[in-house]
Every structure is written in structure tokens, then in C-alpha cells.
Amino acid sequence: QVQLVESGGGVVQPGGSLRLSCAASGFPFSTYDMHWVRQPPGKGLEWVAYIRSDEGSIYYADSVKGRFTISRDNSKNTVFLQMNSLRAEDTAVYYCAKDFWSGFFDYWGPGTLVAVSS
């Protein structure tokens, strides 16, 4: 069965960095596009970043452009989110999500919490 498991979250000071990972299994990872979606505490869902299966296309939300970098390692079935210059408003649960070839998200990981606080 499809599994996505995020890791790497934690508490970081403003201006700091974190690298999130999402380990995938149960499907041919190298043929699917992947996303990161976040959810601030008590709030709604916000799409963050996208990477095509072959890394040929990458997109970011305006709120993270220039600070976050998405990447993937198809040999390790893993997608990453490098987060730099973190701000208090980046505090959220970060989910990785599998794209169903059309732009909706058919599987989600359980999420990892990132808290930016001094």
C-alpha cells in the first residue's frame, strides 16, 4: 500500500533552516509528481511546492519562493524540502502529498510539525 512518511520537523529560531524529508513506498515513486502542503495550527491548507517526477518542473508558492527548495532522489524514493530564512508564519504541519497525474493529491503523509519561535 502507498505510504508517505515525513521527518525533519522541529523547533527552530527565526532566520534558521530545516530540511524536511518524505520517504515514499508502495508505488513507482519515480513516475509521480510530488507536492508539499502546509497547515498552520488551527488554519486551512496551503500548497507550498511541487516537483515533477523527472525534476523537469518545479514551482513554489509566492510565500516561500526564494527561501524554500524542493528536490527529490528517485533512487531513494524520497522528496525533500529545504527551508531557509524561516519566519514565524512558516509555523505549520508540513505534509508531503502524491500527485494523481492531474493535480490533486491522492495520498498524504501524516505530516511533520515545524515551529519557528525564539
Partner 1 sequence: EIVMTQSPATLSVSPGERATLSCRASQSVGSNLAWYQQKPGQAPRLLIYGASTRAIGIPARFSGSGSGTEFTLAISSLQSEDFAVYYCQQYNNWPPWTFGQGTKVEIQ
- Contact residues: partner 1, CB under 8 A: 35, 44-47, 50, 59-62, 95, 100, 102-111
Q: Among 33, 29, 78, 31, which residue's Cα sits nearest to residue 51?
A: 33
Which residue, 23 or 46, is less far from partner 1 as judged by CB? 46
Shorter beta-carbon distance to partner 1: residue 13 or 66? 66
d(CA 33, CA 5): 16
Rounded Cα distance, 85 and 95, in Å: 20
Nearer to partner 1 by Cβ, of 15 and 100: the residue is 100
CB of 55 to partner 1, least distance (A): 16
